[in-house]
Amino acid sequence: MSDFKLGNKSLKELEGVHPDLVAVVKRAIEITVQDFSVHDGIRTLEEQRKLVERGASQTLYSRHLTGHAVDLVPYINGKLRWEWDPIYDIAEAVRVAAKESGVTIRWGGAWDVVFTNTDDSPEDLVVDYVARRKRAGKKAFIDGPHFELPKQVYP
């Protein structure tokens, strides 16, 4: 068990998010070695439009709009940090929590795999994903803090 707890801001962000995903986040904070904040839960279309405009998101059909996605950002020395090493630790905690609860998760570090169906390290998953995109002649948009309930399982 970790000593970390979700703060009020994180709990607020979880309002309106699908209960399966909320359960995973609440379990993840108990077992993670890296503290995190729920930076973004549900979003309005207007918020999403702004993110797409500044290149922070690729789609107007984000799973955040429907309460099927959360962004979990490392919280280090009182600040949110978008850094890969702590992001990998959080991803690992989310995967363990999701597997425990039997919830299927798709991760923004490797969009084309079912995160909860693999045991590869999050770091390896990102490297492999970027390589696959490169081979296909495509850009890799990686978003390590992003976790979602996949459409195939949660329409």
Q: What is the C-alpha separation between 98 and 29, in angstroms, rounded?
A: 12
CB of 90 closer than 8 Å to CB of 74: yes
CB of 5 to Zn ion, least distance (A): 22
Is residue 146 within the footprint of Zn ion (CB under 5 A)?
Answer: yes
CB of 47 to Zn ion, least distance (A): 11
* Residues in a beta bridge with 70: 147
> How far, rounded to the nearest angstrom, does the alpha carbon of residue 135 sit from its chain's CA centroid?
25
* Residues in a beta bridge with 75: 80
Q: Which residue is closest to Zn ion by CB?
A: 146
Neighbours of 24 (CB within 10 A): 25
Q: Which of 71, 107, 109, 111 binds Zn ion (CB under 5 A)?
A: 71
Span from 26-34, 95-103, 116-124, 145-153 in contact with Zn ion (CB under 5 A): 145-153
Is residue 63 within the footprint of Zn ion (CB under 5 A)?
Answer: no
CB of 138 to Zn ion, least distance (A): 20
